């Protein structure tokens, strides 16, 4: 019988701006959150998310880089969705005679 993994190991962190009002989740911080850090598993599925202000998000990014996790900001994610990563995979048809 298959045993599903209900607590997958996160392998990457996606960073993006939030457009809703939320308090920074750092301990004892009373500032408004402006960024969300979302951990994702190998399949790109959401594992957990935390809303932070800019300075606290930098701390999280440095900590996760030290753990050798991949970091993708909103601009990298937008480029991947736009298909820019496929530019190098286009076939080379050569020149027409």
Of 93, 70, 53, nearest in space to 10 by CA: 70
* H helix count then E strand count, the chain: 2, 4
Q: What is the pLDDT of residues 35-83, one digit of tens each?
A: 999 999 888 888 999 999 999 999 999 999 999 998 988 766 555 454 4
Of 24, 28, 18, nearest in space to 53 by CA: 24
Whether residue 84 is predicted with pLDDT greater than 50 in this model: the reply is no
Indicate the pLDDT class of residue 2, thresholds 50, 70 and 90. Answer: low
**pTM (predicted TM-score):** 0.67
Of 38, 36, 45, nearest in space to 7 by CA: 45
Indicate the pLDDT class of residue 4, thresholds 50, 70 and 90. Answer: confident
The residues spanned by each domain of the chain are: 12-83
Whether residue 90 is predicted with pLDDT greater than 70 in this model: the reply is no
């Amino acid at each position: 019988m298959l045993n599903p993994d209900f607590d997958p190991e996160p392998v990457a962190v996606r960073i993006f701006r939030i457009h809703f009002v939320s308090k920074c989740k750092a301990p004892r911080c009373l500032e408004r959150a402006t960024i969300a850090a979302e951990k994702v598993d190998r399949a790109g599925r959401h594992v957990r998310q935390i809303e932070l202000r800019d300075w606290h998000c930098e701390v999280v990014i440095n900590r996760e880089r030290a753990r050798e996790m991949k970091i993708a900001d909103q601009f990298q994610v937008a480029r991947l969705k736009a298909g820019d990563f496929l530019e190098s995979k286009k076939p080379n048809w050569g020149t027409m005679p």
